[in-house]
Amino acid sequence: MRPDSVTGPARSRGRMARLRDDAIRWITRRHAHDGDQAHLGRDRIYILPTRAGYTLFGIILVMLLGSINYSNNMAFLLTFLLVGIGHNAMWYTHRNLLGLQVSTLPVPAVFAGQPLTLPLRLSETAGRAREALVLRIGTHTSAPFPVPAQGTHTAQLELPGLARGVYRLPRQRLDTRYPLGILEVWSWLTLAPEIVVYPAPIDPGHTAGDDGEEAAGAHDRREGDAPDQIRPYRTGDPPGRIVWKAFARSGKLHVREFASGQGDRLWLEWGAMPASDTETRLSMLCHQVLAAHAEGRVFGLRLPDQALEPAQGVIHRDHCLHALARFRSTPVEMNPEPGP
Nearest Cα residue to 330 out of 165, 113, 116, 195: 165
d(CA 223, CA 276): 33
pLDDT score recorded for residue 167: 92
pLDDT score recorded for residue 210: 34
pLDDT score recorded for residue 143: 92
- Pairing type for strands 229-232 and 254-257 reads antiparallel
Strand ordering across the sheet containing 265-269: 218-219, 265-269, 298-303, 306-311
H or E segment to which residue 209 belongs: none
**111 residue type, one letter:** F
Does the reported pTM lie above 0.75? no
329 class by beta-carbon count within 10 Å (0-12 exposed, 13-18 middle, 19+ buried) = middle
- Mean pLDDT, consecutive 10-residue stretches, the chain (340 aa), reads 56 72 70 81 91 94 93 92 92 92 91 91 91 92 93 92 90 92 92 90 59 44 51 64 72 66 72 86 92 87 90 91 92 68
Per the DSSP assignment, residues forming a β-bridge with 257 are 229
Per the DSSP assignment, residues forming a β-bridge with 39 are 101
pLDDT score recorded for residue 263: 47
Nearest Cα residue to 137 out of 164, 167, 158: 158
pLDDT score recorded for residue 174: 94
pLDDT score recorded for residue 176: 95
d(CA 119, CA 330): 23
d(CA 79, CA 182): 16
296 class by beta-carbon count within 10 Å (0-12 exposed, 13-18 middle, 19+ buried) = middle
What are the chain's domains? 29-198 (2.60.40.10), 218-225+260-326 (no CATH)
Residues 310, 311, 313: CA angle, nearest 5 degrees: 150
d(CA 301, CA 320): 7
Within its chain, how far is the Cα of 24 from the centroid? 23
Q: Using DSSP, state whether 288 is helix, strand or coil.
A: helix
pLDDT score recorded for residue 89: 92
Give the CA dihedral 180, 181, 185, 191, nearest 10 degrees: 110
